[in-house]
Amino acid sequence: MSSASLSLSRDDRPILIAALFILVILVAGTIYTFARFGSAPLLSPAYLLQQLQIGAFLGIVSAGMMMVILIAQIDLSVPWTLAGAAMMATTIGGPLAIPVGLGVGLLVGLINGIGVAYLRVPSMIFTLGVNAVMRGLMVAHTGGYAPQTGATDLMRMLAGDRTLGIPNALFVWIAVSVLVTIVLQRTTLGRYVYAIGNKEAAAYLAGVDTRRITVICFVLCGVAAALAGVLLAGYSTKAYQGMGDAYLLPSIAAVVIGGTNILGGRGRYLGTLIGVVLIVLLNSVLSIMDMPEAGRQVIYGLVIIFMLLVYGRGERVTS
């Protein structure tokens, strides 16, 4: 234990390095803008708040994704859960819009969970199928065109407006974050989640209803994706086709960059938070630099590999 108190713990190191990398991005981006435009927008609070407002959607999706990755599963149905929730919410409208949207996420999560936990279909393939079904339902529902219905005032208020100069979406993200942190660190559910991620058979033998916990994790992930969809529809005042496509891979990347083991059982929520901020800032610096899409993709991939090479290396299997 004495060496552990000197060096950082296994879970803290990724978080610290990712945070340092955020500083590097900020400094490098500021040097660039200063040299080219003679200004430093990256350091202005207004700009940062705006970026975080956009990042809130990714943040909420990532929070849900983390619950699923922690139990060594994955949810590929996020894109159309998000879009489906947004489309149903705008279709229903009125005071029921948000509950219906979240209900879509709950239902999708329930189906995913039952398929993965009780039918034991690999989550990779089951959630892929559910994503296709959701896409099919939404294409049939909208006729393949952009939905004509708009977001309700409450949705716009939650996603687009500001309170005391701080975007409301940020408050929602903070609320989700606090909730996830409490669940993971202070509840038996959180302990079970880590236990299942480490070894499901052991958790089962210890008396945990692992299948029920798995369903709960998928439901949480579905509801988080739906919440992000409802907010995103509010932010852009309407739902649109393919609105969730840009959230699947970045959310997995954010969780992993934050130090969560893709094989489950290890990782802290703070890391995911930092991972989201890192990706959002990287994106905004790249768009300030007018980087074409090709360069963005390359840099994006290299950053993930670099971060994982620094702290995400696995153990060598020797027995």
Cβ neighbours for 87, distance < 8 A, ≥ 6 positions apart: 138, 141, 142, 147, 233, 239
Cβ at position 155, least distance to other proteins in Å:
26
Question: If we measure between CA atoms, which residue out of 104, 96, 109 comes closest to residue 222?
Answer: 109
Choice from 61, 233, 256, 285 touching other proteins (CB under 8 A): 256
**Torsion over CA of 137, 141, 147 and 148, rounded to 10 degrees?**
-160
Under the binding rule (CB under 8 A), the answer on residue 125 touching other proteins is yes
CB 260 within 8 A of CB 70: yes
The smaller minimum CB distance to other proteins, of residues 216 and 253, is found at 253
Cβ neighbours for 316, distance < 8 A, ≥ 6 positions apart: none
Residues 221-250 that bind other proteins (CB under 8 A): 242, 245, 249
Distance CA 260, CA 311 (A): 11
- The DSSP H or E segment spanning 167 is strand 166-167
Under the binding rule (CB under 8 A), the answer on residue 118 touching other proteins is yes
DSSP 94: G
Under the binding rule (CB under 8 A), the answer on residue 217 touching other proteins is no
Radius of gyration of the chain (CA): 20
User: How would DSSP label each residue in 198-267?
Assistant: H-HHHHHHTT--HHHHHHHHHHHHHHHHHHHHHHHHHHTSB--TTTTGGGHHHHHHHHHHTT--TTSS--
Under the binding rule (CB under 8 A), the answer on residue 206 touching other proteins is no
Binding residues for other proteins, total number by CB under 8 A: 62
Binding-site string for other proteins from residue 141 to residue 160, where x marks contact by CB under 8 A and - marks none: --xx----------------
Under the binding rule (CB under 8 A), the answer on residue 32 touching other proteins is no
Binding-site string for other proteins from residue 287 to residue 316, where x marks contact by CB under 8 A and - marks none: -----xxxxxxxxxxx-xx--xx--xxxxx
Residues 55-114 that bind other proteins (CB under 8 A): 74, 76
Under the binding rule (CB under 8 A), the answer on residue 24 touching other proteins is no
Under the binding rule (CB under 8 A), the answer on residue 262 touching other proteins is yes
**Footprint of other proteins (CB under 8 A):** 74, 76, 115, 118-122, 124-126, 128-137, 139-140, 143-144, 199-201, 204-205, 210, 242, 245, 249, 252-253, 256, 262-263, 292-302, 304-305, 308-309, 312-319
